[in-house]
Amino acid sequence: MSLASCAASSNGANRDAKRDRDRARPRRSNKVKTRRVSQHTDVAFVEPTLSKPLSRPAPSCDAASLPGLIVYDLDDTIWFPELYMIAGAPFVKTSKSTVVDSGGARLGCYPAALASVALAKSCGAFRERGTLIAVASRTHRGKWARELMDAFEVRDGDDDARTLAACVDFVDIASGSKTKHFARLREKSGVPYAEMLFFDNERENIDEVARLGVACVHCPGGLSADAWRRGLTFFVDDVVDP
């Protein structure tokens, strides 16, 4: 056999061996990316008026003890599906809290998420405290996120509707660790970490930000009324439940 034939045979054997190893190697799974988009439809796509009422600070509570800044993640905290799961813009608004994307996928807000923003903007104690609202997201689809924030509506106690974007004082959408988001938010808002409240569906983000001294609530499956109550009780003991 010639040297060329030997080399070709050897290369072919190597390719076959590599193919066999690749077939035998277990594939990495990604539970987030493979979950069905319809998973949370019973929660995410109902109108805010149908959601469970939220707990609020009691009239006797000291407003100064409330958080100075409430920070929300976006994907699977305020809305679902996550933006990487969908075809994206252009979006068609179908209700105050839902849209349909260019591929026909429906995206909606968790009722308690919008209701908590409304409460923070309308409740007397939060207004007396001067509580600010921020968004901290690592999505790579920042333009879509901003379009959605302009589309979704928040209704306060006077039944006045404002867009989610109009209710948010600071928007930090960028890649990288959430601790970098919070460093920028602290600088922009002047609110110390100890006076911040953070909601996120990802445990890794919660653990990182908690080490800064921020009060953090893990809310897998979206922000719920119970998650909101847990966050509130970090700051006040006297809570009025619905």
Whether 73 is catalytic: yes
Q: Residue count of the chain, please give it.
A: 242
Whether 75 is catalytic: yes
- Dig out the tokens for 22 from the structure: 């690749």
From the candidates 22, 73, 76, 237, give the one annotated as an active-site residue.
Answer: 73
**What does the alpha-carbon distance between residue 226 and residue 76 come to, in Å, rounded to a whole number?**
16
Q: Give the count of alpha carbons within 13 A of 152, CB side only.
A: 33
Amino acid symbol at 200: D
Q: Directed axis angle between helix 111-122 and helix 225-233, to 10°?
A: 40
Contact criterion met (CB below 8 Å) for 163 and 149? yes
In the three-class reduction of DSSP (H, G, I as helix; E, B as strand; rest coil), residue 107 is classed as strand
**What does the alpha-carbon distance between residue 65 and residue 130 come to, in Å, rounded to a whole number?**
11
**What does the alpha-carbon distance between residue 37 and residue 107 come to, in Å, rounded to a whole number?**
9
Catalytic residues: 73, 75
